[in-house]
Amino acid sequence: MEVFDLPEFDGHELVAFGHDAASGLKAIIAVHSTALGPAAGGCRMWPYATTTEAVSDVLRLSRGMSYKNAMAQLPFGGGKAVIIGDARKAKTPELFEAFGRFVDSHGGRYITAEDVGTTITDMSNIARSTQYVSGLGRAPGEAGGDPGPKTALGVFLGIKAAVKFKLGRAELAGGSVAVQGVGGVGYHLCGMLAGEGAKVLVADVRAPAAERVCQEFKATAVSVDEILSHKVDVLAPCALGAVLDATSIPRLRARIIAGAANNQLAQGQDGMALLAADILYAPDYVINAGGIISVAREYYGGATQAQVNTEIQAIPQRLTEIFERARRESRTTNAVADQMARERLARRPQQLVA
């Protein structure tokens, strides 16, 4: 495997491999950019089939974090970490303490937090070995804790903005949303959608997770194979990435794609296929920035949950700007968002708004 030759490599500043024999840790940290500040991004734990698969994922995710943090106007660069292992079987406090030492060895160049397969408890174990971690529990009213609900809030508000732009409706009541994946973000998103009066369809590889949402929010469960092809107003991918590709896009019957998953487009050119199908795409790293906004506020301290919520309220405006510019220039929304993010990365570091 030649890291520099992988298609996902994009001038990354650092790709580091960490191993701890005693705990079984096998981890990779990728720092894409520190142009705007220390690289921040979550730690994903996943049973990758090969090391190459893990490297490709961490490269894509870390670049996405550079763009996400730039678009959210946070004083962070972009980074990500992956731990190779099954989160249902391989977790131990010792493993995460070892990962914390790995993070600490980079002296603050990378700041970690939750992602798929990791939790607040895992972050607490990481914090035993390093100060460069966020997403920990905080006192009531203070910014921080599990970023999942904050990510869900941003996606919910972004869906409303997309529906208003594409369908001309200010409310979600009476509309339909298909949510793929009802984990730490998808579950909370379903609650918000149901509370707004939307018809919610859900699918998850874990049947009990889908059943819970159906019971609590009166959602309708469909199979994981069918969720993408249902005729709905909005499809919200909230599981893993690369769900939109040459095979899945022709099957879509949604008018809007707006979800929490990172790297929803398998390839950049898949945005052209969505445009040709007259499907509005909300760039994932813009709509799902609520979690990293919370992480940033917690890490730098002195902020409240109310301030975090206020900052998340800016996500719909950013999306609408992208939608309008894409329509005006006859371009894809992902191309417009990428250009805007690169322009912000080229500027001087920005300061977190007090």
Q: Which residue numbers are catalytic?
A: 80
Return the beta strands (E) in the chain as ranges: 14-20, 25-33, 39-40, 43-46, 77-84, 110-111, 176-180, 199-203, 220-221, 234-237, 256-257, 280-281
Angular region, 180: left φ>0, alpha ψ -120 to 50, beta rest: beta
Cα–Cα nearest to 249, from 327, 314, 334: 334
- d(CA 88, CA 232) in angstroms, rounded, equals 33
Q: Give the separation between CA 133 and CA 100, rounded to whole angstroms.
A: 8
Q: Which is it for strands 176-180 and 199-203: parallel, antiparallel or unpaired?
A: parallel
Instruction: Using the structure block, give the residue that is written with the tokens 């406090």.
Output: 93
Distance from C-alpha of 181 to C-alpha of 234, rounded to nearest angstrom: 14
The one-letter amino acid code at 197 reads G
d(CA 68, CA 74) in angstroms, rounded, equals 9
- At residue 235, the 3 state secondary structure works out as strand
| Cα atoms found within 13 Å of the Cα of residue 207, Cβ hemisphere only | 1
The answer to whether 222 touches 231, Cβ cutoff 8 Å, is: no
Distance separating alpha carbons of residues 134 and 140, to the nearest angstrom:
16
Spatial separation of the C-alpha atoms in residues 213 and 249, rounded to whole Å:
26
Sequence-ordered alpha helix ranges (H) in 141-182: 148-167
Q: 91: left (phi > 0), else alpha (psi -120 to 50), else beta?
A: beta
Phi, psi of 73 (to 5 degrees): 60, 45
